Amino acid sequence: MDGSVSGTGGADRAERAADEVDKAGGAGAADTAEDAGKAVKGEASGTPEKPEKRPNEQLNSWFLRSGWSKGELARQVNRRARQLGAHHISTDTSRVRRWLDGEQPREPIPKILSELFSERFGCVVGVEDIGLRTAHLSPSASGVDLPWAAPQTVEMISEFSRSDLMLARRGFLGTSLALSAGSALIEPMQRWLVPTPSTGAKPPAGGDRTRRGRLSPPELDLLESTTKMFRAWDAQCGGGLRRKAVVGQLHEVTDLLQEPQADETSKRLFKVAGELAQLAGWMSYDVGLHPTAQKYFVLALHAAKEAGDRSLGSYVLSSMSRQMIHLGRPEDALELIHLGQYGSRETATPRIQAMLYAMEARAYATMGQPAKCKRAVGMAEDCFSDCAPTDGDPDWIRFFSEAELNAENAHSYRDLAYVAGRSPMYASLSRPKMLQAVHLFEEDGEHQRSYALNLIGLATVDLMEREPEASTVHLAKALRIAKQVRSERVNNRLRKTVDTAVRDFGDVDEVRDLTEQLALHLPESVETAPA
């Protein structure tokens, strides 16, 4: 295990004290004393010294650019480990120093460091990128290149969801997963469109056939309505509250898929499984478990294929695209969206098409391509204007309302402003759409997380236009919502935006007051602020 077993409440105080010594220059003395002790021990024993480790230059580079001290990184590793149920982890400044000097930490530390640096820099920072080795993973527990066949899809979803549930701690499974990007992600997803000879799941050989799995239509209706209920809970309360319940329901559905069912029933069950896996992925993404989220999205796409539901598949790909934008991989995001658009070209309703175009615009904005972004924004608005109650939209796309359309397009223009050096032109295009989104979400009352995210988005536009007082009003409203929903996305964006306000307008009274409120209600912000 990494570090000593922690059993006292004084560990954090000790880490902070060590950090102060580190900052004051005491680290060098500690290193000297430690090295001297090793030398004396070697001389006394007469044993040859082991070859000296080479410093991990890649990890040192990321660490220096992060602005963190060794103590701050140690505390973040410990906090993330506790969140993941790895209570045996107790890292301190000396342990961080050893990593920088070339020591290879054991799992789950490499994955935790990868996630922390990815969040810090807004891009995918793999384990290899920080000069560490990842543990060997079995195909069932890692990767996205999985077999496209019904029995294997059922088995993979069943195994993954069962493992997730058995750990009884949110996201612990995620620490043993690798996040895929680039061709390693895109090429396996392209096989979504390749026809398969069979869509029905067969019961496993030797399985229990005494229980006849002929579900009645009312039972299927109940499964579908339960999925709708989970989706509503997520929008209202955030992904952290009901994630395990969704994973449990998904596992139950895979049990049903392993029983003999009529072909039509099997397809409906695969559709339910696809929707639940997408929702489990979305909730995992919302609480910051990115590798776990990606695995659920991949499994959802497999289930959608077995259901023969191209539109659902395009929705799953849009979720994956959003995650890639969040992680600073807009090129991957664009590939995924184009794959979804092509695959659903004959089945997508105008509302689904509008959602896909809006996500395409987000990708182009992050890539700094204003002409293509504006074109996609216009296409999204045109498609949305064609929406009609008779379109037969599935429940999962009903979230894409006028409020959501305005929100996505506002964020596209806001992101263009970022790429163009806080361009006032793009900020002015973003503001009216963001205001409309905030107004509509406030009236809605059912999508509290989206309301908070767009209040934060509006605050970022305020800061671009040098209106710090207005930004604090919107951020204070978002903070009140953040205390009620369980969403790391909301919390992280709130902290980052407040950090920006402090950096640019730290002498404004309202900004100082908001910083105190944030430290009181979201205390992690104190430890994650730049050093």
- Residues 61-113: pLDDT tens digits? 999 988 899 998 999 898 888 766 667 788 999 999 999 998 888 878 888 89
Going by the DSSP 8-state scheme, the letter that residue 400 receives in this structure is -
Q: What is the pLDDT of residues 293-345, one digit of tens each?
A: 999 999 999 999 999 999 999 999 999 999 999 998 999 999 999 999 999 99
Q: For residue 435, what are its two tokens? A: 């205001």
Evaluate the omega torsion of the peptide bond into residue 523 and state whether it is cis, within 30 degrees of 0: no
- Name which of 19-33, 99-113, 434-448, 462-476 the model is least confident about: 19-33
Nearest-5° angle of CA 93, CA 98, CA 104? 125
User: What span, in angstroms and rounded, lies between the C-alpha atoms of 190 and 144?
Assistant: 12
Q: Tell me, what DSSP letter sits at residue 107? A: T
> Using 50, 70 and 90 to split pLDDT, how confident is the model at 16?
very low
pLDDT of residue 22: 45
Does the pLDDT of residue 485 top 70, yes or no? yes
Of 459, 455, 427, 431, residue with least CA distance to 441: 455
Please tell me whether residue 30 adopts helix, strand or coil conformation: helix
The pLDDT value given to residue 486: 85
Phi-psi region of 510 (alpha: psi -120 to 50; beta: other; left: phi over 0): alpha
Residue 3: phi and psi, rounded to 5, are 85, 180
Q: Can you give the pTM of this predicted structure?
A: 0.74
Lookup: tokens for 31: 């290193």
Residue 3 forms beta bridges with which residues? 90
3-state class (DSSP) for residue 180: coil
Report which of 364, 350, 370, 451 is spatially closest to residue 404, judged by C-alpha positions: 451
- pLDDT per residue as tens digits for the range 336-385: 999 999 999 999 999 999 999 999 999 999 999 999 999 999 999 999 99
Which of these, 287, 217, 201, 185, lies nearest to 246 by C-alpha position? 287
Name the least confident of 235-239, 286-290, 404-408.
235-239
Answer left, alpha or beta for residue 48, where phi above 0 means left and psi between -120 and 50 means alpha: beta
